[in-house]
Amino acid sequence: MIRTIIVDDEELSLLALKKKLSAFPDVKIIRSYTTHENIFKDLKNESIDAIFLDIEMKDINGIELAQEILTSYPSIQIVFVSGHTNYAVNAFELDSIDYLLKPVTAKRLEKTIIRMQKHIKSQHGSELNKTKPSLNIYCFGELHVYFDEKPLRFKTAKSKELFAFLTANMGKYVHRDIIIEKIWPEHDYKNAKTYLHTSLSYLRKTLSELGFSDAICFLNQSYCLLLDSVYVDAEELKKLANDVLNSKVLDHKTIQSVIEIYKGAFLELNAYEWVYEYSETYQVTILHLLIEAYMDIKYKDPLKALSYLKIYQKIEPYSEYAVLNLIQTFTEIGWRSEAIRTYQSYEKLLEEEMSLSPAPQVRDLYNMLLD
């Protein structure tokens, strides 16, 4: 049984469609509306499979209403009904199940019903047969998402960016206007809001097909990504780093695991404009961890300590801290030539890329090597 509602501000059109739908025994009309005011309240209390939705209504555009509905209820099938063909492209961009032209004939309606039944059957079948989801999200270096070891394809570049932004704020509600400001800053608010709803619709559909139908939550004009039983490298890094830094004894095996996770700056190759503050947070965390690791082991295992400093310098190549301690540690273990080479490489880097010279304390340490 297909549980459906009808929305049309023209009473005669609504009654005509209602009469035709009533002829199909597999369709149950739960409610019909001439305005959108009570739809969301009723959707909270009723299980609805499909909505027959007029596009040209006085109080709201049907496509905008569909976007709002699909944001909260991505599994609902939308059937657009219109007297014109010029909305068809926008309608199908929302993955609507069908687009009907008025006046709707019984024969054409039958095709829609069959299409809806197939869609519902496939949804139920996939839910029954679906094994435990295996979703892996990698954010360091570049965003890569895998489901059952196969790369996940996003429908648009912006839906991918939206997923990245929600992942960066995993478990936190972010206001709609902040999302728009971060991802669509060049667009006017009305268009940006439409783009947001469209991208959310794409994401909800994709995640729902993978078994995460309620992953994107909406509350007080804010959105939140909640994914259970998935691997997110950024979340894993935060957890492991916190475990190490809050422990009385540093676990160098765990530190090595953190280093292996950090394959580059957060979403570095995606080059999203909003990513810097998130990237900076993770970089500060990893650098802090490397300093703690170096300080903990520099006398017990200087070679291991050097490896931490080299990783630090790779992340922060202009760092005085890294070059000073590299030169000092190389000197202490008798590797004078490596200490000199480290200074010279650093001096060349500063000159070529920043037209600067090493700080006095770095130069003084180098000059001591030459004496």
3-state secondary structure of 231: strand
pLDDT in tens, 186-214: 999 999 999 999 999 999 999 999 989 88
**Is the residue at 41 inside a domain?**
yes
Number of domains in the chain: 3
Q: Residue 263's pLDDT is what?
A: 94
Q: 87 with 43, same domain?
A: yes
Q: 143 with 99, same domain?
A: no
Q: 193 with 157, same domain?
A: yes
pLDDT of 241 higher than 70: yes
Q: Residue 123's pLDDT is what?
A: 66
Edge-to-edge strand ranges of the sheet holding 144-147: 150-151, 144-147, 135-138, 231-232
Least confident of 52-66, 91-105, 307-321: 91-105
Residue where one domain finishes, among candidates 225, 244, 272:
225
Q: What DSSP character marks residue 6?
A: E
3-state secondary structure of 322: helix
Q: 98 with 146, same domain?
A: no
Q: 111 with 53, same domain?
A: yes
Q: Angle 118-119-122 (CA atoms, 0-180°, nearest 5)?
A: 85
The rounded mean pLDDT for the chain is: 92
pLDDT in tens, 101-149: 999 999 999 999 999 988 887 766 555 444 444 899 999 999 999 999 8
- Which residues lie below 8 Å from residue 139, measured CB to CB, with a gap of 6+? 164, 167, 168, 232, 233, 234, 266, 267
Q: Domain containing 198: what range?
A: 135-225
CA distance readout (Å), 253 to 246, 268, 296: 15, 26, 13
Q: Residue 121's pLDDT is what?
A: 77
Instruction: Report residue 115 as tokens.
Output: 């299409």
pLDDT in tens, 148-191: 989 999 999 999 999 999 999 999 999 999 999 999 999 999 99
**Is the residue at 312 inside a domain?**
yes
Q: 53 with 154, same domain?
A: no
**Is the residue at 252 inside a domain?**
no
Which residue would you say has higher pLDDT here, 261 or 124?
261
pLDDT in tens, 12-39: 999 999 999 999 999 999 999 999 888 9
**Is the residue at 236 inside a domain?**
no
Q: 125 with 150, same domain?
A: no
Q: Residue 89's pLDDT is what?
A: 72
Q: 93 with 146, same domain?
A: no
Cα dihedral: 274, 201, 94, 17 (round 10): -150
Taking a C-beta distance cutoff of 8 angstroms, is the pair 18, 43 a contact? Answer: no
Nearest to 168 by CA among 235, 213, 118: 235
pLDDT of 359 higher than 90: yes
Q: Residue 128's pLDDT is what?
A: 45
Q: Residue 129's pLDDT is what?
A: 47
Q: Residue 60's pLDDT is what?
A: 87
Q: What DSSP character marks residue 281?
A: H
Residue where one domain finishes, among candidates 225, 251, 268:
225
Residue 127 CB coordination number (10 Å): 11
Q: 121 with 53, same domain?
A: yes
Residue where one domain finishes, among candidates 129, 156, 186:
129
Residue 368 — very low, low, confident or very high, per pLDDT cuts 50/70/90? very high
Q: Residue 132's pLDDT is what?
A: 43
Q: 68 with 113, same domain?
A: yes
For residue 8, the surrounding DSSP H or E stretch is none
Q: Residue 125's pLDDT is what?
A: 55
**Is the residue at 251 inside a domain?**
no
